[in-house]
Chain A
Amino acid sequence: MNKLFFELGRYILFVRSMFFKPERFKVFFERTIHEMNNIGVGSIGIVTIISVFVGAVTTLQTAYQLVSPLIPMKVIGTIVSDSSLLEFAPTITCLVLAGKVGANIASEVGNMRVTEQIDALEVMGINSSGFLGLPKIIAGVIMIPCLIIVANFLMISGGILAARLTDLMSPNEFIQGARETFKMFTVTVSMTKSLVFAFIITSMSTYEGYFTEGGALEVGEAGTRAVTRSCVLILFADFIIAKLML
C-alpha cells in the first residue's frame, strides 16, 4: 500500500516536471516529429490487421447470437459500428499499442538511464524528463487518436467485408443499420478515450523507463511493467469515462 502511494506520487511529480519550457524550440519540434513518426506511422500495420479482424469477428459473432427471423439483419450493422466506435476501436487498439509503443518507449528511456545518458543530459543543465518525455506525450496525444480514427473506419469495413463474404447481408444493409442510429456523441466518446489512453501509454512508459535502476535485466522488466501498468490504467480509465460520459 505504501509502495502504491509512493509510485503514484512519484508518477504525478514526474508528469509535472515534464511540463517545462523547452530549451530549444527547434530541437523540441524535431524530436516531436520524430516521435510522431515512430508512434503513429510505425503502428499503422498492426492497427490495420487488428481492426479488420476485430470488425469481422464481431460481425460474425453478433450474427451468430441474433438468430431470429424477427430481427432484421441490419441491426448487426448498428451493433457492430456502435460497439466499435465506443469500445473496440479505442480500447483494444490502445491495449495493443500499450504493448508496442509502451514497451518501446520504456526500454529506450530505461536504456538511457542505465547507460547514464540521462545523467549526461542533467549535467548539461537540460530538464531530462521534459526533454525525453514531452515530445513522446505530445506525439502520442496527436497520433494515437488519428490511429483510432483509422481503426474505427477499418473495423466497420471489416464488418462489412465479413458480412458480404459470408452472405449475411449486403454492404448497403450494413451501412443503413450503422447510420440509422448513429449519434455524433459516440465519436466524441471514442476520441476522449483515445486522448486519455494516449496520455496514459506515453507518460506511464516514459515514467517506468526513467526510474529504471540497474542494468539490462531491469530495462527488460521496466518494459514489461510499463505494458502491464498501462493496460490496467487504460481499463480503469475506460470504465471511468464510460460512467461519466454515457
Chain B
Amino acid sequence: MIELVNVNKSFADKQVLFDINAKFEPGIPNLIIGASGGGKSVLLKCMVGLFKPESGSINYDGRDFVHLPYEQVREVRREIGMLFQGTALFDSLTVEENVDFPLKMFGKMTPEERKDRINFCLSRVGLENANKKYPAEISGGMKKRVGIARAIALETRYLFCDEPNSGLDPITSRRIDELLHDITNEFKITTVINSHDMKTVYDIGESITFIYQGKIWWQGHRNELDATRAHNPELNAFIAASQF
C-alpha cells in the first residue's frame, strides 16, 4: 500500500500540488484522472522520487520514501517499476536487452534464469517475436508492452504507469488496460495509473482519484462515480467531456 500525506510540490514560484492525501491499495488498479496540466505526471514523479516534494511524506508500506537515507531509497526503488508516458526504452538496446537490463543490474540470477525470466515477461505481455528488434523498429503499442515487461522484470511490488494508452488505437488501448489489470491482480502489485481516458476508468478502474488543479478533488470507487457526478460539477465536466 502506498500512502501520501500532505504532499506539496511547487516549481519556482508556481505551486503544482496542494496538500495531497491519498491511499493506493495493492491488487487493484488505482487510477488517477484529471485534465491535462492538472499535475498527474508531477504527482507520479514525486511518488517515484524523481521530484522531491517540499513537504509531506510518501509511505511505501510504512517506509517513508521522502525521508529515508539514500541507500534505503534505492532499496525501495528496486521494488518500483515504471512505464513512462513516452515509454523511455533504452534505444541502444534490443527489446530483450531492455527487459534484461534491471535483471542484469540487480538480479541474482544466472544467465539461463535471466533468459527464462525475459521470455516469461515478454510472453506475459504478449510479445513473442520481437526479442532482437530495437525500439525504433517496433510500433507504439509494442513499445508500451516492452515498457511493461521491463517494469515487471524484477519482482515488482509497485507499478506506476503514466498514460499507458496515450497515442494508441482503441483496440490496443483496451488490450494494454486488460494487461495492466491482470498483472496487478496476478502478482498483487500496487498499481497506480495516470489516465484521462474514461473508457479505462469504467473498464478496469477500481479506486479512482480525481485531481483538479493540483488538488485531490475526489477519491472513491468507480461504482460511486455516477452518484458523485451529480453534485461535483468539475468531475461531471471531466466525465461529460469524454461523452460518458
Which A residues are closer than 8 A to B by beta carbons? Answer: 23-24, 27, 111-112, 115-117, 119-120, 122-126
Contacts and interface: CB of A to CB of B under 8 A. Distances in A.
A116 B135 CA distance: 14
B104 A27 contact: yes
Interface in B75-117: 75-78, 80, 82, 84-86, 88-91, 101-102, 104-106
Contact of B82 (A23, A24, A115, A123): A123
A36 to B, nearest CB: 16
A123 B105 contact: no
B192 interface: no
A116 B88 CA distance: 5
Given A123-B80, A125-B74, A125-B77, A115 B102 contact: no
Contacts of B230: none
A177 B166 CA distance: 71
Looking at A27, A111, A125, the one whose CB has the most chain B CB atoms below 10 A away is A125
A136 B80 CA distance: 28
B189 to A, nearest CB: 15
B82 A120 contact: yes
A115 to B, nearest CB: 6
A123 B49 contact: yes
Nearest to A119: B50
B114 to A, nearest CB: 13
A73 B214 CA distance: 79
Closest 8 CB pairs of A and B: A125-B77, A125-B74, A116-B88, A120-B88, A116-B84, A123-B82, A123-B48, A117-B88
Contacts of B104: 24, 27
B77 A123 contact: yes
Nearest to B101: A124
A126 B76 CA distance: 12
Interface in B1-54: 45, 48-50
Contact of B105 (A112, A122, A124): A124
A116 B84 CA distance: 8
Interface in B139-163: none
A125 B88 contact: no
A122 B91 contact: no
Contact of A117 (B50, B75, B90): B90
B12 to A, nearest CB: 13
A46 to B, nearest CB: 23
B103 to A, nearest CB: 11
11 contacts: A23-B106, A24-B105, A27-B105, A115-B88, A115-B91, A119-B45, A119-B50, A120-B84, A124-B77, A124-B80, A124-B106
Given A123-B48, A125-B75, 10 more contacts: A27-B105, A116-B86, A117-B88, A119-B84, A119-B88, A120-B84, A122-B50, A124-B80, A124-B105, A125-B106
Contact of A126 (B86, B88, B105): B105
B106 to A, nearest CB: 8
Contacts of B75: 125
Given A117-B91, A125-B77, A23 B86 contact: no
A111 B45 CA distance: 19
